[in-house]
Structure 1
Amino acid sequence: MQNKQMKHVVNGAFILSLAALIAKILSAVYRVPFQNLVGNTGFYVYQQIYPLYGIGMTFALSGLPVFISKLIAEQTDLGWQRETLRRSAILLAGLSALIFIGLQFGAGGIAHAMGDRQLAPLIEAVAWMFLFMPWLALSRGYFQGRFVMVPTAISQVAEQLVRVAVILLAAVWAVRGHWSVYKMGTWAMSGATFGAIAASSVLLYFWWRRARTATMPPSKVPAPRYGELLRRFLAEGGSLCLFASLIVLLQLMDSFSVKNNLVVAGLGQAAAKSLKGVYDRGQPLVQLGLVLATGLSASLLPSLTRALQRRRHNEFYRQAVMMIRLSFTFSAAAAGGLIALMPGVNRLLFGNTQGDLALALYMLSIVLVALISSYSSVFQSLGEYRLPTLALLVGLAVKLAVNGWAVRRWQINGASSATVLALFVMFGLIWWRSRSYIQQALFRQQFLLKLMVCVGGMALVVGVFFHQLVQWLQPGRLATGGLVLVCIIIGGSLFLFLTRVLHLLTIREWLALPMGKQFLRRFNKKDN
């Protein structure tokens, strides 16, 4: 019976991870045609306000639902669950109303602080999605707490599909109708509300299906008091939300800082907006780079939970080390490949090579975010929230302190450097205070040295090969895309070859990877 339940949990986690992967790919990929349609300035307008949407998304999708699912899983009494959901709904309704009112009436002030008063209608448009946040968070959290992952998965994909469709339609209509970039941005931001409506409809259907068969008896256990519930929401839920929105919070700081300080540095308004749009190209690239690393982390989290439930501490630490090493390995490979191929990737996706250095620096955040996510997942699995939250707040303070100065001195190169520095400080604090067994995960069996050789060798070969081909062929944009694809195949194959030759990963770690067993068989056949 216990094995059957655990299999159900693992299958549910796989469904949720797959949906998250699809949603992340959609969220990253649509920005490429969108930027190509609306240009650097149009992209700047959208990206200035996007972090506000991103924070709402983490509340409604990843931060609060995870906390609520944990609440629901703590008590099997159905009446207790119903009363806890009701009290949670009241707290979240108050929070969403405050955010909505603050954004609606404060839109002008926020836009002014960002250095562009014309952004106010976009802020007002995105505010509406926060009204759906309590329903989305509570519904997803309840179903996940009951180990029913399909409603969350379907609602997540539906939300992204509708939102992306609205954004791209707004961009097409803007080009055909010669709209201003601000009118286009307002309609694009309304996609957040349409997406929330779609997700709410999906969840409402699953609630209707459940209500036909389920009954809610009176509670036999007293539900948590409002004060206790609020404290847990702030401590545990707040920590989960902060980490889920880590990249978005850094981007929000850039929204208030980069364009304003570019103007202070001597650029005109139009030039500063365009250059901020170039800098914003880094976000979809980072998201794509993190897809595999975060997907691996998510796939291994159920095994961490299982080990803790069975009180097998050695197994827990072994799984934690595996998660950290795999996330680090593939995030480093993604970052190294993107840095080596940045001129080609930039030209293929965005039409030119503006901001190559800033984007290459920004790619280092892929590695640091993957490491921060892995280490903080271990802390949160153990119920330890204080240190990761403190580390995150210190890192954000570093970004806030140095960003303006760095932008005035080095423009968007400075903004990228400030982001990397902030993430490095966060990771350093989390690593410093982690348990010694986890702390040494990156150094055991010369892992860090071997990884540097693998990534460095791959990046060097691919970078030189691509540069030589470009010098020789002088390709156009589409031909550059073909060269990038060839180099990705060569680089990926070389990286896997080097990891196997240098024994970077253990057999257990290879077997944890998708297709890892097949790769080992083929490689061993070649050896024989």
Structure 2
Amino acid sequence: MKNEQIQKTMRGAVILSCAGLAAKILSAFYRIPFQNIVGNTGFYVYQQVYPIYGIGMTFALSGFPVYISKLIAEQENELHRLQLSRQIFLVLACFGIFVFAFLQFFSKQIAFLMGDSELFWLIKSISWMFLFMPMLAVPRGYYQGTFNMIPPALSQVAEQFVRVLVIIVCAAMFVKYDWNLYSMGANAMLGSTFGAFFAMICMSSFYFKKFFKARQGDFHEDYSVLFKKMFTEGLVLCLFAAMMVLLQLVDSFTVMNGLRLSGMSLSKAQNLKGAYDRAQPLVQLGMALATGFSASLLPALSSELAEKKVAEFKETTKIILRISTVIALAATVGMISIMPELNTLLFGDAFLSSTISAYVVSIVFIALISTYNSILQSMNLFSKAAFSLLCGIFVKACTNVWLIEQFGIIGASISTVLALAVSLALIVFFKPKSVGSVFTGDSFMTKLGAACLLMGGSVKTLMILFEKFSAGTRFDAVVATSAGIVLGCFVFFLSIVALELFEKDEWLAFPKGRKIYELIQKLKK
């Protein structure tokens, strides 16, 4: 029976991981055509308020649901689960209404603090989606707590698909009807509300078949205790799920102000911030790749902990961390190696390529932080992880404006990487001894560094050769980027095989890992 439950958990984790990966890829890729349509300034207008949406969706689709699922799974019967769901719904409804009212009433003040008073229309527009937060978080948490991952997975993909569709339509209308940039941004932000509505439809059976029909019982959690749980442990999960969005939120309040303090005009600062935000989809895609493959291994940790298999638990965490590190570092070095061409390919010019390259380094840190956090969650360790996260945000808030004044817009990228490095260092320092590490023991990091150096060096050499014969067009960028990706993948794969970076168990952890391992054995012969 226990093996059956573990298999069910594993299947659910894979389904949810695939849905999350699809949603992240959708969320990363739509920004490229969007920026191409509306330009740097239009992209700035949208990205300046985007972190508020990101935090709201984290609350609704990943942060609170994970904690709710834990509470639901602890209940002894279906009646208690539904009673608790109703109470959580009331708590989150009050919270959602409060956030909605706050954003509505203080939108002008928030926009002023962001350095652009006209943004208040976008803030008002994004506030509506917070009213949907309890309607999404509760059924999602319920289904995850009962190991039914299909409705949450469908809701996640539906939300992103509808939102992206609305955003692209608004961008096209902006061009066709010559909309004001802020009007376009406000309408695009309504995509989050439409997306939330369709995500709710995907989980409507919860309300019509369970939530409204369940009879009243004698089970009743104390509201003060429930409120404390939701906004301590539950909020910590939300903060971690939204870590990059929180750093972007700091950027929203500090980058424009930092640029203006350095004497830059409003229009030039807007254009620069929009170009700086080109890094976001690249980082999001890198994170999705780095954490997606390892996510399916996480349920195994819970079973190993439950069975008190300490050695197996440590080995599994080590494998997960190694996979995340390899993919994240390879993606980072690869993107940096082809950056001027990649920037031109995606956004039409090579503007701020150095700044974007510096920002992309954050992929490695955020991938490791996210993986460590997932491992610590499986052990119910929250407080030290939360402290590490808050220290990172504090570093970002304290250094952003100063670094921008000292080094220009690249200072914001340096600040983000520094903040994530501090958070990761603290998490590694605080982690229990039972959790594996990529930073101690064998020569793994040395071998990985050598493989990345070989890949990066070969790809950069190719890019320099291309640059000598290139006219700087987008078509040239397509050819150069494609050739660089093929060469990079080929060199990196050969390097990690030759250096014997992975052991057999680690190869088998990859999708189609057995076939890859068998191919490697044939190549060695």
1:401-440 matched pairs, under 5 angstroms: 401-436=398-433, 438=435, 440=437
2:92 is equivalent to residue 92 of structure 1? yes
Moved more, 457-466 or 71-80: 71-80
Given that 1:78 and 1:216 are in contact with CA atoms closer than 8 Å, whether structure 2 keeps it comes out as no
1:527 and 2:524 are equivalent in the alignment: yes
1:285-296, aligned counterparts within 5 Å? 285-296=282-293
Displacement after TM superposition at 1:189 (Å): 0.3
Counterpart position of 2:385 = 388
Count of residues in correspondence between the two structures: 525
- After superposition, the C-alpha distances for 1:437-464 in whole angstroms (9 at most, x for unaligned) are 5364333221111111111111111111
For 1:119-518, list aligned pairs within 5 A: 119-208=119-208, 218-219=217-218, 222-436=219-433, 438=435, 440-518=437-515
The alpha carbon displacement at 1:3 in A equals: 2.2
Cα distance in 1 for partners of 2:479, 2:102 equals: 48
Amino acid of the structure 1 residue aligned with 2:254:
S
Q: 1:447 and 1:216 mapped to 2: Cα distance?
A: 57
CA contact (8 A) 2:79 2:214 kept: no
Distance in 1 (CA, whole Å) between partners of 2:210 and 2:269 is 53
Match in the other structure for 1:42: 42
Partners of 2:302 and 2:426 in 1: how far apart? 24
Deviation digits for residues 391-425 of structure 1 (CA, Å, limit 9, x no counterpart): 11111111111111111121210000000000000
Given that 2:314 and 2:436 are in contact with CA atoms closer than 8 Å, whether structure 1 keeps it comes out as no
Question: What corresponds to 1:4 in structure 2?
Answer: 4
One-letter code of the match for 2:289? L
Report the AA paired with residue 8 of structure 2.
H
Per the normalisation by structure 2, the TM-score is: 0.97
Pairwise CA distance, 1:211: 7.2
**What is the SS of the residue equivalent to 2:442?**
helix
Write out per-residue CA displacement over residues 117-159 of structure 1, whole angstroms, 9 at most, x where no aligned residue: 1100100000000000011000100010000000001111111
Secondary structure (helix, strand or coil) at the match of 2:81 reads helix
- Please say if 1:70 is aligned against 2:57: no
Amino acid aligned to 2:5: Q
Q: CA deviation at 1:65?
A: 0.3
The answer (yes or no) to whether the contact 1:325–1:442 under 8 Å persists in 2 is no
Distance 2:284 2:420 in 1: 15
CA offsets 1:151-182 (integer angstroms, 9 cap, x no match)? 00111111111000000000000001111111
Contact 1:235 / 1:385 at 8 angstroms: preserved in 2? no
Deviating more after overlay: 244-253 vs 80-89: 80-89
Letter in 1 for 2:96: S
For 2:35 and 2:428, locate their aligned partners in 1 and report how far apart those are by CA, in whole Å.
37
Tell me how far apart the structure 1 counterparts of residues 80 and 469 of structure 2 sit (CA, whole Å): 70
Pair 1:60 & 2:60 matched:
yes
Q: 1:215 to 1:193 in 2, by over 3 A?
A: closer
Question: Cα 1:209–1:82, aligned 2, differ >3 Å: closer, same or farther?
Answer: closer
CA distance in 1, matches of 2:210, 2:342: 47
Q: 1:12 to 1:439 in 2, by over 3 A?
A: closer
Amino acid at match of 2:396: K
Matched residue SS, 1:436: coil
Q: Counterpart amino acid of 2:199?
A: A
Give the CA deviation at 1:370. Answer: 0.6
Assess if the C-alpha contact under 8 Å between 2:139 and 2:206 holds in 1.
no
Residue type at the aligned position of 1:104: Q
CA separation of 1:209 and 1:85: change in aligned 2, threshold 3 A: closer
Q: 1:260 offset after TM fit, Å?
A: 1.4
SS at the partner of 2:435? helix
CA distance, structure 1, for counterparts of residue 216 and residue 223 of structure 2:
21
Counterpart residue identity of residue 174, structure 1? F
SS at match of 2:349: coil
TM norm structure 1: 0.97
C-alpha displacement of 1:217: 7.4
Q: CA RMSD in A?
A: 1.5
* Contact map agreement 2:6 2:300 (CA 8 A) in 1: no
- Note if contact 2:325-2:368 (Cα within 8 Å) is conserved in structure 1: yes
Counterpart AA for 1:476: T
Q: Structure 1: how far apart are the matches of 2:206 and 2:22? A: 21
Give the superposition deviation at 1:93: 0.9
Amino acid at match of 2:64: L
For the residue of structure 1 that corresponds to 2:115, the secondary structure is coil
- Gapped regions of structure 2 (runs ≥ 5): none
SS at match of 1:48: helix
Question: What is the CA-CA distance between 1:40 and the residue it aligns to?
Answer: 0.2
Structure 1: unaligned runs, 5 residues or longer: none
Q: SS where residue 444 of structure 1 aligns?
A: coil
Matched residue type, 1:278:
A
Moved more, 405-414 or 97-106: 405-414
Give the Cα separation in 2 of the matches to 1:500 and 1:463: 21
Tell me the residue number matched to 2:33: 33
Q: CA deviation at 1:474?
A: 3.2
Q: Taking structure 1 as reference, are residues 502 and 75 closer, same or farther at Cα in structure 2, changes over 3 Å only? A: same
Contact 1:78 1:217 in 2 (8 A): no
Aligned identity (percent) is: 43
Say whether 1:81 aligns with 2:117: no
Local SS of the residue matching 1:229 = helix
CA distance in structure 2 between the aligned counterparts of 1:452 and 1:209, rounded to whole angstroms: 54
- SS of the residue corresponding to residue 332 of structure 2 reads helix
CA distance in 2, matches of 1:211, 1:79: 10
